[in-house]
Chains A and B, each alone.
Chain A
Amino acid sequence: MSQDARPTASASAQEQRLPPVAFVGTLALGLAIAGVTYITASLPKEPPLAPAIGLLAAAAAAVIANAVALARARNFAWRLFFIVFRWTILAYGLIAGLLMFVFIYNDMPARMLAFQIATLAIGAVDIPMILAFSVAKYQS
């Protein structure tokens, strides 16, 4: 745990000791963004939702897999992780809430609205996890 034990450890060496949470989280974010782009491309009509739901389910699975892999990590700076996670989830939760309001305000069709809210919810967990992990991994 001591800083002195590895004063010259490189960023990549420290990253290799932990699961690739940032990479998987970014992948999940990419899947979620792809789903939203697919839906928005067909406005004002509602396209077949199956591809978008598939992308969203894959994103959700990646976020869950990330959480499980991280929960098994040893010597991880959990205290700092949760400090950063708490504040970033507050910030990104606020942003997600603002976007949900805009979607609801514009009378988006119910199924599309449900999809967008689910996407925002995944993003509001995924982004704080990426940021909190990225800070805590160098403190572990």
Chain B
Amino acid sequence: MADATVGAAAVPSGLVAGEIPRPPRTIVSVATLPFVALALIYLLVSVIGGWRWALTFAHVAFGAAWTIIDLFLGLVIGPILGRMPIRARLELITRLMPKMSVIMPTVVVVTLVAGFQLGLQVGVLYSIHPYHAWILASFAVVGVMALIALGINEPANLAVLFELRKPEPNLELVGQLMRRFIYTAGILGIMQLSILIIMARVAS
């Protein structure tokens, strides 16, 4: 009883500690790991086989997933999340973020490795190729995106999940970290638009 009272006092927004949605004990979604293994095996087989169609599929499909997830999360889910009641927001975060922490690194790695291999096969990675400057521009954009994603976005995501595992999470801190996550997701979404332009230019 005493614990419940302390929990209620520590948690703002009318939520008592017992009512706060919690992320899974494992933090990452274990159910998504077979998808990761399949994706990486497919990637390795495609690289070793040297099949251009398989590499193109991996680069286009996973690249599209990366772009769409960033755009959707940053420009659609983000603003909606900001207007949701705190409990609904936490329900969404605790279900969505564990999956995102597995899906995004996988999608990014498959896209980049397949793209690198494809670039070598097609020749756009070589400095003599007429579209080489566009590829370098994409490197610069992806580099900045990697810094935002790994330096701000993903740390905020993980910190929120671990904070919500505490018996009495600091929801003010969770709110600040979520804002950080949503803003950076929006920036990543906007930067993805420039990747779309570059890739459309290279492919046409």
Inter-chain contacts of B146 with A (CB < 8 A): 29, 33
Complex formed: what's the CA distance from A76 to B174 in Å?
Answer: 20
Complex formed: what's the CA distance from A127 to B146 in Å?
Answer: 11
Contact code string A100-140 (vs B, CB < 8 Å = 1, else 0):
01100110000000000000000000010011011101110
Report yes or no: B147 in contact with A30, Cβ–Cβ below 8 A.
yes
Instruction: Tell yes or no: A75 within 8 A of B by CB.
Output: no
Report yes or no: A134 in contact with B127, Cβ–Cβ below 8 A.
no
Contact status of A37 and B139, CB under 8 A, knowing A22-B155, A29-B151: yes
Complex formed: what's the CA distance from A91 to B47 in Å?
Answer: 20
Contact code string B162-204 (vs A, CB < 8 Å = 1, else 0):
1100111010110011001000000000000000000000000
Complex formed: what's the CA distance from A124 to B105 in Å?
Answer: 13
Report yes or no: B139 in contact with A43, Cβ–Cβ below 8 A.
no
Report yes or no: B177 in contact with A11, Cβ–Cβ below 8 A.
yes
Complex formed: what's the CA distance from A12 to B172 in Å?
Answer: 12
Instruction: Tell yes or no: B60 within 8 A of A by CB.
Output: no
CB distance from A135 to the nearest CB of B (A): 5
Inter-chain contacts of B150 with A (CB < 8 A): 26, 29, 127, 130-131
Inter-chain contacts of A133 with B (CB < 8 A): 155
Residues in B93-133 with C-beta less than 8 Å from chain A: 105, 109, 113, 116-117, 120, 125-127
When the two chains form the complex, which single residue of B44, B116, B139, B143 contacts A30, counting CB atoms closer than 8 Å?
Answer: B143
Complex formed: what's the CA distance from A138 to B180 in Å?
Answer: 15
Instruction: Tell yes or no: B68 within 8 A of A by CB.
Output: no
Interface size of A in residues (CB-CB distance below 8 Å): 45
Contact status of A102 and B155, CB under 8 A, knowing A8-B170, A33-B143, A40-B125: no
CB distance from A12 to the nearest CB of B (A): 8
Report yes or no: B143 in contact with A34, Cβ–Cβ below 8 A.
yes
Report yes or no: A99 in contact with B158, Cβ–Cβ below 8 A.
no
Q: Name the prevailing secondary structure of the A interface residues.
A: helix
Complex formed: what's the CA distance from A138 to B176 in Å?
Answer: 12
Inter-chain contacts of B136 with A (CB < 8 A): 37, 40-41
Instruction: Tell yes or no: B156 within 8 A of A by CB.
Output: yes
Complex formed: what's the CA distance from A34 to B146 in Å?
Answer: 12
CB distance from A117 to the nearest CB of B (A): 15
Report yes or no: A22 in contact with B147, Cβ–Cβ below 8 A.
no
Nearest-CB residue, chain A, relative to B26: A87
CB distance from A101 to the nearest CB of B (A): 8
Report yes or no: A10 in contact with B151, Cβ–Cβ below 8 A.
no
List 20 additional A-B contacts (Cβ < 8 Å) besides A137-B159, A138-B173.
A3-B10, A4-B6, A7-B168, A9-B170, A12-B176, A34-B143, A41-B139, A43-B126, A44-B127, A84-B162, A87-B28, A106-B117, A127-B150, A131-B150, A131-B155, A131-B158, A133-B155, A138-B162, A138-B170, A139-B162
For this complex, 12 residue pairs linking A to B, each with C-beta atoms less than 8 Å apart, are: A4-B6, A7-B10, A11-B177, A25-B151, A33-B143, A80-B162, A99-B113, A127-B150, A130-B155, A133-B155, A134-B155, A138-B163
Enumerate chain B interface residues (CB-CB to A < 8 A): 6, 9-10, 28, 40, 43-44, 47-48, 105, 109, 113, 116-117, 120, 125-127, 136, 139-140, 143, 146-147, 150-152, 154-156, 158-159, 162-163, 166-168, 170, 172-173, 176-177, 180
